[in-house]
Amino acid sequence: MDTMSEIIKERVKNSIGKYIKVFLMNGFRYAGKLTNYDNKYIEILDVVSSSFKLLLIEDIKDMEVKE
């Protein structure tokens, strides 16, 4: 696993319950409350569709966390 994935995993681990924006490798982006994660996926409550999204950590290009 590459270093960026480890950095993202550490950031995700410390951001449960916070508002995030996730930018994927394919150009899609999602925004919402980070509700859960494991070593492979993150789960966010999407603010646009009011539904939960499961995203592969390895597909994440960039992520913003609101403090």
How much is the pLDDT for 4? 62
Number of structural domains the chain divides into: 1
CATH number for 39: 2.30.30.100
How much is the pLDDT for 16? 95
Q: Which residue, among 18, 29, 31, has the nearest Cα to 67 in the 3D structure?
A: 18
* Structural domain boundaries enclosing 60: 3-65
Q: What is the pTM of this model?
A: 0.83
Q: Which of 20-24, 25-29, 57-61 has the lowest mean pLDDT?
A: 57-61
**pLDDT for 15-25, tens place per residue?**
999 999 999 99
Q: CA dist 11 to 49, 50, 56, Å?
A: 24, 24, 15
More confident residue, 56 or 8: 56
Q: What is the mean pLDDT of residues 28-40?
A: 93
Look over the chain and give the mean of its residue pLDDT values, rounded to a whole number: 89
Phi/psi for 3 (5° steps) reads -60, -40
